[in-house]
Amino acid sequence: MSETVHPHQQASSLWTSRMAFILAAAGSAVGLGNIWKFPYITGENGGGAFVLVYLACIFLIGVPVLIAEIMIGRRGGQSPVATMRTLTNTEGTSKGWRIIGWNGVVASFLVLSFYAVIGGWSLVYIGKAALGLFVGADAEAIGGQFNNLLANPWELLLWHTVFMAIVVFIVGRGIRSGLEKAVTMLMPMLFLLLIVMVFYAMSSGSFGRAVSFMFSPDFSRLTTEGVLIALGHAAFTLSIGIGVLMAYGSYLPQNINIAKTAMTIAVLDTSVALLAGLAIFPLVFANGLEAGAGPGLIFVTLPLAFGQMGGGIVFGALFFALLLVAAITSAISMLEPVVEWLEEHKGANRVKSALAGGFAAWFIGIGTVLSFNLWGDVHPLGFISFFEGKTVFDLLDFLVSNVMMPLGGLAIALFAGWAIRREGLAEDMGLKGGAFKAFMVILKFVTPAGIAIVFLYNLV
Ligand code: PFF
């Protein structure tokens, strides 16, 4: 274990318990990725076989990076930038690894800028569902509601602002009275809402069909592309590679076993994704809708189902409340690295750092707001054929999800696997004997190879 006590590794600023850290990290992991993206990519890729591959990716690629990133964060005990600066010195490695810290602070901040815009949609949809706007509406009307929302920059901006204000408020209050309080309240609520939604789906009459769609693998429906999508999503859904877990890990007490904790986080995240599928697909099948509807699955297909079902007003509103809670607990984790960095480097207090970081992310987010309407035809890198037709939002999403996250994850796996000293490593990660040896083989070879393949594929 590292002996130096870093600025943030003081008792008063650490998570109060292992549970608090698990809820915060699981809160980061469980987000739009689980409830919005996982069901629709499962639908598009044919169900069962895709789910199996996804599970393998979570445990072979995701968990090793999760363990490594949290361990690095705790060893350094500061913002990702300062943590990597400290570690490259104390571990005697090349200074080049410091890029991991900068990559983290910048990427998590950029992802927040557009995540908040989409988080804002869930606020709008809670209102729409509760007001009964889906009742009796046909596919065209519901699709029209979604398109009208996207076409209106002021409405998008309003909800983007409200969402960001909530995030800044929570993060500004600090680790214990802000983040920890929020997640201990919101995460149980999220699980409860999810269970309620699954029971509601069970009563739809198509639960059995949804279960067999998700769990009976039909490998003839799995494509190479599906495998790569599963891999990329495994990284996104666990929030790995972009510094948030490093930042959260910097507040983790020394006596907590990282390997066990990381496993718990991955199991929670996976359970939520699977339960979200079990809440959504029965409603889709019961109403004769398309499981492979794509990104519109929860904003268009699902409202159509709610509009046709008994209790659709209440359960529709509950579903979007669930989405909102999941999005907030992820968004607060994205603000943390930059806030921790501002506190350290600019000497600003917590509130000012949260306001400054939140404002800057909000400002960049305006580019995403406009991408859906006024700037719909603006393609900043359109002169490069690879980026043809990509809006500001598409470019940001591509940069973060397909470049900065995978490369960050790859660098973290390589740094922890090859560069840092082996003494104390097993103990720091919470692994012993054979388990540690096996783990190091995965971390050194399997994980980097897996990430490198997805990264290259996405570029070609
Ligand atoms: N894991 C989140 C989700 O599945 O929605 C997304 C995410 C959170 C990505 C935090 C990156 C991050 F730093």
Distance 236 CA to ligand 1 centre (A): 6
Distance 330 CA to ligand 1 centre (A): 6
Cβ atoms 350, 339 nearer than 8 A: yes
What's the rounded Cα separation, in Å, for the pair 107 and 78? 17
Selection from 235, 218, 250, 187 nearest residue 65 by Cα? 235
Fold classification of 11-432 is: Hydantoin permease (1.10.4160)
- 205 falls in which pLDDT band (50, 70, 90)? confident
- 8 falls in which pLDDT band (50, 70, 90)? low
- 1 falls in which pLDDT band (50, 70, 90)? very low
pLDDT at 455: 81
Give mean pLDDT, residues 393-410.
91
Lowest-pLDDT choice from 3-7, 247-251, 277-281, 432-436: 3-7
Domain edges within the chain: 11-432
67 in contact with ligand 1, CB cutoff 6 A: no
26 in contact with ligand 1, CB cutoff 6 A: no
What's the rounded Cα separation, in Å, for the pair 161 and 181? 22
Ligand 1 probe mutation, 106, 115, 245, 271, most atoms within 8 A of CB: 115
More confident residue, 427 or 458: 427
Q: Model confidence over 296-353: pLDDT tens digits?
A: 889 998 999 999 888 999 999 999 999 999 999 999 999 999 999 999 988 889 999 9
237 in contact with ligand 1, CB cutoff 6 A: yes
Q: Three-class SS string for the chain?
A: CCCCCCCCCCHHHCCCCHHHHHHHHHHHHCCHHHHHHHHHHHHHCCCHHHHHHHHHHHHHHHHHHHHHHHHHHHHHCCCHHHHHHHHHHHCCCCHHHHHHHHHHHHHHHHHHHHHHHHHHHHHHHHHHHHCCCCCCCCHHHHHHHHHHHHHCHHHHHHHHHHHHHHHHHHHHCHHHHHHHHHHHHHHHHHHHHHHHHHHHHHCCCCHHHHHHHHHCCCHHHCCHHHHHHHHHHHHHHCCCCCCHHHHHHCCCCCCCCHHHHHHHHHHHHHHHHHHHHHHHHHHHHHCCCCCCCHHHHCCCHHHHHHHHCCCHHHHHHHHHHHHHHHHHHHHHHHHHHHHHHHHHHCCCCHHHHHHHHHHHHHHHHHHHHHHCCCCCCCCCCCCCHHHCCCCHHHHHHHHHHHHHHHHHHHHHHHHHHHHCCCCCHHHHHCCCHHHHHHHHHHHHHHHHHHHHHHHHHHHC
Distance 114 CA to ligand 1 centre (A): 12
Is residue 40 scored above 80 in pLDDT? yes
Q: Model confidence over 79-93: pLDDT tens digits?
A: 999 999 999 999 999
pLDDT at 9: 61
Q: Model confidence over 269-312: pLDDT tens digits?
A: 999 999 999 999 999 999 888 888 877 889 998 999 999 888 99
Q: How distant, in Å, are the alpha carbons of 89, 129, 210, 284 from that of 205?
A: 61, 22, 10, 11
- 365 falls in which pLDDT band (50, 70, 90)? very high
Is residue 414 scored above 90 in pLDDT? yes
Atom of ligand 1 nearest to the CA of 244: 13
pLDDT at 2: 44
Q: List the structure tokens of 240.
A: 């790995």
Ligand 1 probe mutation, 330, 338, 401, most atoms within 8 A of CB: 330
- 225 falls in which pLDDT band (50, 70, 90)? confident
- Mean pLDDT, all residues of the chain: 93
pLDDT at 204: 86
Is residue 33 scored above 90 in pLDDT? yes
- 429 falls in which pLDDT band (50, 70, 90)? very high
More confident residue, 403 or 24: 24
Is residue 10 scored above 70 in pLDDT? no
- 231 falls in which pLDDT band (50, 70, 90)? confident
pLDDT at 401: 86
Per this entry, what is the length of the chain? Answer: 460
pLDDT at 371: 96
The percentage of the chain sitting over the pLDDT mark of 70, rounded to a whole number, equals 97
- Measured by CA distance, the residue closest to atom 13 of ligand 1 is 239
